[in-house]
Amino acid sequence: MIVTTKELSDALGLTERRIQELEKQEIIKKLERNKWDLTSCIDDYLNYKVKAATANFELSEARAKKELAEAELKELKLAKQKGEVIEIYRLQKDLGDIAATISNRLYSLPHRLNRAINLSDELNEAIIKEVESILIELKDAKIYKEFGS
């Protein structure tokens, strides 16, 4: 159906000036001076509006994700200030220190027992072997996975 600029503007609920702007932006196409294909123009205008709405939605979604990430970072910083979380490098260092202390204490156990109760050589060797076995087990990551399950 061929319509005038006035009829097209009424059909789309736009001003005649806006119709001209849309034509300059190549969103809708004029057949000739003051003649428009109503169906084609409505389809083109609707496609334009859908694309604009989609772009706005994607932008809003991106903003929402950014705001969520910023909020999570602020929560982590606050938790860190409260001492509720620690940085991974600090945890690794502390766990390494704990492991070294446990290892040293276990290695010294047979000697301390021997001084305190004068163990036989056979019993002292058995305790040393057992301590070494425990330390080897503690170095194996599989044991932690089993306890974590």
pLDDT of residue 23: 94
Q: Strands (DSSP E) along the chain, which ranges?
A: 2-3, 30-32, 35-37
Domain map of the chain by residue range? 2-79, 86-148
Question: For the whole model, what pTM was predicted?
Answer: 0.43
Give per-residue pLDDT as tens, 13-56: 999 999 999 999 999 999 999 999 988 999 999 988 888 877 77
**For residues 120 and 123, what is the distance between their CA atoms, to the nearest angstrom?**
5
The per-residue pLDDT of the chain, averaged, comes to 86
CATH number for the domain formed by residue range(s) 2-79? 1.10.10
Residue 22: name the closest of 58, 46, 54, 56 by CA. Answer: 46
pLDDT of residue 78: 84
pLDDT of 82 higher than 90: no
More confident of the two residues 25 and 148: 25
